[in-house]
Amino acid sequence: MRTVDLHLSIGTRLLVSGLDWQIKTGQCWCVIGRNGSGKSTLLRTLAGLREPDAGSVQLQGRALQDWPLQGLARERAFLPQGRSDAFGYRVIETVLTARHPYHDAGYWESDADYQAAHGALQALDVGDLAERDVRTLSGGERQRVAIAAVLAQDTPLLLLDEPANALDLAHQVSVMSLLARLRQSGKAVVMVSHDLNLAHSVATHALLLMGDGQWQAGPVAEAMRAPILSRCLGHPIEMVRHGSRSIYIPVEDNHHE
């Protein structure tokens, strides 16, 4: 997937200006920025759920609007930031909906669909919840079910808006490890994250949105440097080394006694 001279705005405010960006197989991009900088807007545009204000998004050299919906659903999966469950679907039914792009002529789910759905639930440590009503789940359990649906959709590109949202520490780590394995298997991942340390643990590249249309993109070693992150996030950031890890720490506010 690539963007060509992409412009995004909300009202009169310019969020992204002239974004020329390419997402390649085996890469994991983290999108970083302050609240309101356009991260979710960008992800929805990449998913084909929002028209660009100018420029284009291309998948395999073809503009998103030229893709049939079923074909697009086989190429990219999208995890939104929030969701509401108005109906009492079982967990397994919720994940099986992600298999609909593969139902060319049939209506009922196949054994392969059930195998993919149950495998995804097991990978997210929610296999024992398959028969539960989704409305009875905790926020973290519901988030893992949503990620399982993305996994079951089995697309080359995953677009994830804050995948670690509502997860406890152990499951944050396990989800990041899962994303790393997916990347290593040849999938491409784009995720929004406010946790710099989680992002750095899995990302190969970072896209920083400055909130005024400006942006910076590149490998994490170049883009996730403390001075650039400080400017992007509007707060001074320090980076320290701990063994082989880089750890990002907000600088304390010393203006109060």
The label of the residue with tokens 């420029």 reads 55
Could you tell me the residue ranges of all domains in the chain? 1-75+156-174+181-218, 84-154
**Nearest Cα residue to 123 out of 101, 152, 97, 98:** 152
List CB contacts of 84: < 8 A, sequence separation 6 or more: none
Q: Has residue 105 got a pLDDT over 70?
A: no
Predicted TM-score (pTM) of this structure:
0.95
Residue range 1-75+156-174+181-218, CATH number? 3.40.50.300
DSSP 52-88: -SEEEEEETTEEGGGS-HHHHHTTEEEE-S-----S-
Task: State CA 219 to chain mean position distance.
Answer: 17
Q: Quick one: tokens of 158? A: 């995953």
Which pLDDT score, from 0 to 100, does residue 254 have? 62
What confidence tier does 82 reach under pLDDT thresholds 50, 70, 90? confident
pLDDT at position 257 = 44
pLDDT digits 0-9 by tens, 165-211: 999 999 999 999 999 999 999 999 999 999 999 999 999 999 999 99
